[in-house]
Amino acid sequence: MAQREQDDTRVLFDLPCLPRAKNISLALKIKHNAELRLPGPGAGAFACLTGLELEFLRLNDGGADLGDLVSSRCPQLERLRLLSVSGLTELSIRAGKLLQLDLAILPDLELLSLVASKLRVLHLLVCFGAGGTTLSVQAPMLEEVGWFGDCPEDMRFDAMQNLQKLVVGGSSLARFGLIIARVMQNFLKLQIALPRDVICHNRLMEEIKIPHHLVLELQIDPNGHTFGSSVASLLRRCNNITTLKCSMLQIDVNLCSAGCLCDEPASWKDEKVCFNSLEKLVFNGFMGTGCEMDFLIFVTGRSKALKAVSVAFCEVADLIKDIEEIRKEIVSSVPAGCSVQFS
């Protein structure tokens, strides 16, 4: 790589054309002022490149050269990863062999246009800020989507035919309900992060439209709140699932105050709802806190067809409550004939 210019505000690098390179991984960590200039159209092609990673840098052209490079001069590209790249305002990709696209922390991105006939995995982490307005994805073979952060105003997502896993977190949860409603596969994975301000969170849960799935996996990040009411609100519309998997991402022993709205309405524990199709319940990262027990018993007590319950304790669960007492309470809550395993 050739260094072109250096002053008090930036260090500018040129990326040369590397026609024989199969993988390029580049991270410029020079006081966060490193700029990368990509080779122009006349510089030739990266004919053998299958993997490209760019991290911790700034693009000096708004991203136009990157879109052109990936679309027209990397004919074998299968994996593209961009992490903490600033200066990228528009990214238009047409890549026939691209299999995986990982975009994370692109603070200036306003438009993402993607046409990738073979794409299987798409991860977007904090890629649209206040100026982000347009997302267009055409990826008929897409199987996995991970999205954390804001959603742009204009979303066109033609990629639902083969989707098997959808992980959604942050403020995108409600907007992505529009996409969730169109998923027709049997497996759905959601990450639910309760916001610090939970006043409208139950209403947000109600806005998410859940299609008919057989397996539902929830990754729960309570952020110091009780989560039973919010997640129960979601599950009320999932009474056809056969398998429910819950994983706690973190538990704050010091929960919010008793007057917090996160557990409202308090009547959620007594609601007459049945999960008649549920046969298997898996709970990972279990600590035995009151809110976890309330939610678990809410599910087991309404699942007459339940055949198996698996509870995996987190490493510090014994510091919260006696594990033997927890086990007895869980076993007593399941229907007759249901097996219970602890680990």
pLDDT at 201: 44
pTM of the prediction? 0.66
Q: Domains in the chain and their CATH numbers? A: 194-343 (3.80.10)
What count of other Cβ atoms lies within 10 Å of the Cβ of residue 4?
11
Q: Which amino acid is at 228?
A: G
Smallest CA-to-CA distance from 211 within 166, 153, 148 is with 166
Write down the residue that tokens 């690098």 correspond to.
Answer: 13
Output the tens digit of pLDDT for each of the chain's 343 residues: 545 555 556 677 888 888 999 999 988 875 556 788 888 777 788 999 999 999 988 887 777 789 999 999 999 999 999 999 988 989 999 999 999 999 999 988 989 999 999 999 999 988 876 655 788 999 999 888 887 777 777 878 776 677 777 676 655 554 555 455 444 344 555 655 555 444 444 444 454 545 555 777 877 777 666 777 777 777 877 777 889 898 887 666 556 655 666 666 677 778 888 888 899 999 998 888 888 888 899 999 999 999 999 999 887 766 666 788 889 999 999 999 999 999 8
Query: Is the distance from CB of 145 to CB of 127 less than 8 angstroms?
Result: no
**What is the rounded CA–CA span in Å between residue 126 and residue 102?**
11
pLDDT at 151: 72
Query: Is the distance from CB of 97 to CB of 76 less than 8 angstroms?
Result: yes
pLDDT at 200: 44
Instruction: Compute φ and ψ for 206, nearest 5 degrees.
Output: -65, -30
pLDDT at 181: 45
What count of other Cβ atoms lies within 10 Å of the Cβ of residue 101?
26
pLDDT at 169: 63
